[in-house]
Amino acid sequence: MPERATLHRAWRDVQRKRLLICAALGLALLASLLTDITLGSTAFAPLEVLRAVLGSPGVEPDTQVIVRELRLPFALMAVLVGAALSLAGAEMQTILNNPLASPFTLGVSSAASLGAALAIVLDLGVPGVPAGALVTANAFVFAFASVLMLQAVAGLTGGVQSLVLFGIALVFSFNAMVALLQYLASADALQQLVFWSMGSLTRSSWPAVQTLGLVLLLVLPFSLRAAWQMTTLRLGDERAETLGIDVARLRFGALLRISLLAATAVAFVGTIGFIGLVGPHIARMLIGEDHRFFLPVSAMTGALIMSLSAIVSKQLIPGVVLPVGIVTAIVGVPLFMSLILKRGRQ
């Protein structure tokens, strides 16, 4: 009995620590979001920003337009993209049992880039889509199609290793086709394609924010519902199957969620690297492998990193908003190296 009481107390302490970490991340994310909105070519006080966001009376019309129509979609898109990519990365690392997995490991990003390149260079895309949305629609369709191919391969082979190898083959194939289109592109089309591939939040709009937010809200409950099964999968396929888990079905559902999250995020903002790789690693160090906490903390960690990167993108060069994909790579490489070195010393 004393041992049972000790274990119960230790379990409660762990749960309390995890809840405190979630609360701290939530507060940090809110602070980063508010800071992102206040910063720009015209600086606003935090209280003024809050009043503009809430539509309080007495706010200058120009201030309200800048905050609500320009900066708020930009800041919210950063949070949503970071959460989507990091959640997708967390699930992918689990189903592949590979700490180096991310939404782009299996060619989702490369497929989206090929779809965007076809729209930009050759003006080819989904029939009936308006010209202004052709790049976004193409990127989503090609990214989603790549995951359907991966799911077909997973169904035929049933092996994680085959899935990873096929994904790597897709990456090289799509990158080669994008390079060919770059070679054939005009100077103007090449400039557009290169800028898209860098990843940028400057195309953020309320429809884009609403679409990605809706996808995230639809996917997250299914991810949390499968949390205990994903935790068990970390023990190995055989152990999970002995506990009555349909591993093939679990992987199929996870791949479907990953494809929706990654394809939608990439379609709106372009290629964003390292968020889906670093976010889950930081969450795992903070919270452990219990996916009831690991998945939401991964989403919050990715959202926080992306929000901070959006702030840095506006501050590095005065008057210029750098593509956020460049910033995440600059920040992500040393951060990822530090994680590797820390893991090596353990």
Residue pair 257/219 in contact (Cβ under 8 Å)? The answer is yes
Reference 143, options 263, 266, 261; nearest CA is 263
Reference 19, options 303, 305, 304, 293; nearest CA is 293
Reading the block at residue 108, the tokens are: 């989702």
For the segment 115-132, the average pLDDT, to the nearest whole number, is: 82
Residue pair 101/92 in contact (Cβ under 8 Å)? The answer is yes
Residue pair 190/182 in contact (Cβ under 8 Å)? The answer is yes
Q: What is the pLDDT of residue 158?
A: 62
End-to-end CA distance of the chain: 34
Q: What is the pLDDT of residue 85?
A: 93
For the segment 57-82, the average pLDDT, to the nearest whole number, is: 86
- What DSSP assignment string belongs to 96-127? HT-TT--TTTTTHHHHHHHHHHHHHHH---ST
For the segment 55-61, the average pLDDT, to the nearest whole number, is: 75
Q: Left (φ > 0), alpha (ψ -120 to 50) or beta: where does 123 sit?
A: left
**pLDDT tier at 2 (50, 70, 90 boundaries)?**
low
Residue 139 has a CB neighbour count (10 Å cut-off) of 30
**pLDDT tier at 100 (50, 70, 90 boundaries)?**
confident
What global pTM score does this model have?
Answer: 0.89
CA distance 294 to 286: 9
CA distance 103 to 146: 12
Q: Which tens digit of pLDDT belongs to each residue from 125-135? A: 778 777 777 88
Helices 206-225 + 72-96 axis angle, to 10: 30
Reference 272, options 228, 329, 208; nearest CA is 329
Residues 6+ apart with CB under 8 A from 243: 232
Q: What is the pLDDT of residue 230?
A: 92
> Residues for the chain: how many in total?
346
- Percent of the chain residues topping a pLDDT of 90: 24
Q: Which tens digit of pLDDT belongs to each residue from 251-286? A: 888 888 888 888 888 888 888 878 888 899 889 888
Better-scored residue on pLDDT, 160 or 280: 280
Look-up of token digits 């055989």: 238
Q: What is the pLDDT of residue 340?
A: 65
Q: What is the pLDDT of residue 139?
A: 82
> Hey, where are the domains in the chain?
2-345
Better-scored residue on pLDDT, 100 or 293: 293
Residue pair 257/222 in contact (Cβ under 8 Å)? The answer is yes
Residue 58 has a CB neighbour count (10 Å cut-off) of 5
CA distance 222 to 252: 13
Torsion angle of C-alpha atoms 246, 252, 257, 260, degrees rounded to 10: -170
Q: What is the pLDDT of residue 195?
A: 80
Reference 145, options 97, 108, 193; nearest CA is 108
Side chain identity, residue 340? I
**Number of Cα atoms under 13 Å in the Cβ half of residue 188:** 1
CA distance 118 to 52: 40
CATH fourth-level superfamily of 2-345: ABC transporter involved in vitamin B12 uptake, BtuC (1.10.3470.10)
- What DSSP assignment string belongs to 181-226? HHHHS-HHHHHHHHHHHH--STT--HHHHHHHHHHHHHHHHHHHHT
Q: State the average pLDDT for the chain.
A: 84
Q: Which tens digit of pLDDT belongs to each residue from 180-195? A: 998 888 888 888 888 8
